[in-house]
Amino acid sequence: MSIKVFSTGLPAIPLRGAANVFEEKYGVKFEIVAGPVEQWLSNVLAGDGDVVCVGAEYMMDDLQEEHGLIMPDTRTTVGYRRSVIIVRKGNPKGIRGVEDLAERDDIKILICRGACQRGLWDDVASKAMLTDRIRKKIVEYGTGCLDTYQRWRRSVGRIDAAIAWNVYGNVWPNDCDVVELPKDLQVYRSTNVAVLKSTRDEKLTRAFIDFLKTEESKNIYEKFGWIIPKH
């Protein structure tokens, strides 16, 4: 028995943890292909895979409506991520919030322009009515969560802050600190999974989706910083 998953990069990390537990319990082998959607979409269009995992509902909407690849009734939210400012370890620039990003000339910003963070910086900046001023401080653009993280690591001494997800601080605690935003500036997006119409074993794949709804699986997501509703 095996399940093949296509996932965007950062959401694959807790998903792999949950898959390991499912594998130990039920002897199901997993193959998880992680990367940008454009990297694996052609495989899924060709009929490969059992499960898909992405980091925003609009990404799953495209897989459902534009490509007709998923079983709509299996769409499941496995957790949420929250917008934050990430800074260098120890916060050497003393960044306290978006006002510092907008007003201080000594701060340079990295943002992500694609995938699950598409438009995230503007969602935050627009809530504070600071879009123009923050835009002037952006010096580099990532294309996805992992690409943005790699750019963050390569730009020590050149880039001071990024508007990103809270889970960066959980997944990569040695490379960044997190400055929380006030509630009125926070943006949340869901991480979601679905069964592909191409699945080789619908019953088994649906059982895995059900497992992702259990407390055991939720605890894994929480460990990596995903926010799980308590209701």
CA distance 207 to 23: 12
The CATH code of the domain that includes 147 is 3.40.190.10
Domain assignment present for 158: yes
State the number of CA atoms in the 13 A half-sphere of 80 facing the CB.
Answer: 10
CA distance 216 to 15: 12
At 201 the pLDDT is: 98
Work out the pLDDT band at 186, boundaries 50, 70, 90.
very high
231 pLDDT higher than 80? no
**Tens digit of pLDDT for each residue in 112-164?**
999 999 999 999 999 999 999 999 999 999 999 999 999 999 999 999 999 99
Answer yes or no: are the C-beta atoms of 97 and 85 closer than 8 Å. yes
At 194 the pLDDT is: 99
Q: What is the mean pLDDT of residues 87-92?
A: 99
Averaged pLDDT score across all residues of the chain = 98
225 pLDDT higher than 90? yes
* Residues 177 and 85 placed together within one structural domain of the fold: yes
Q: 64 is written with which tokens? A: 């459902």
Work out the pLDDT band at 207, boundaries 50, 70, 90.
very high
At 35 the pLDDT is: 96
Q: 143 is written with which tokens? A: 């294309």
At 230 the pLDDT is: 84
* Residues 85 and 181 placed together within one structural domain of the fold: yes
CA distance 132 to 154: 26
* Residues 92 and 156 placed together within one structural domain of the fold: yes
Answer yes or no: are the C-beta atoms of 86 and 164 closer than 8 Å. yes
At 178 the pLDDT is: 99
Domain assignment present for 52: yes
Rg (CA), the chain: 18
* Alpha-carbon distance values, 221 to 80, 165, 225 (Å): 9, 14, 7
At 22 the pLDDT is: 99
Number of domains in the chain: 2
* Residues 93 and 146 placed together within one structural domain of the fold: yes
* Residues 57 and 39 placed together within one structural domain of the fold: yes
CA distance 106 to 128: 20
* Residues 26 and 102 placed together within one structural domain of the fold: no
Answer yes or no: are the C-beta atoms of 60 and 54 closer than 8 Å. yes
Answer yes or no: are the C-beta atoms of 224 and 165 closer than 8 Å. no
Task: Provide the whole-model pTM.
Answer: 0.95
Domain assignment present for 228: no
Domain with 23 in it? 2-79+190-223
**C-alpha 63: how far from chain center:** 17
**Tens digit of pLDDT for each residue in 29-45?**
999 999 999 999 999 99
Domain assignment present for 229: no
Q: What is the mean pLDDT of residues 79-105?
A: 99
**Tens digit of pLDDT for each residue in 58-81?**
999 999 999 999 999 999 999 999
**Tens digit of pLDDT for each residue in 141-151?**
999 999 999 99
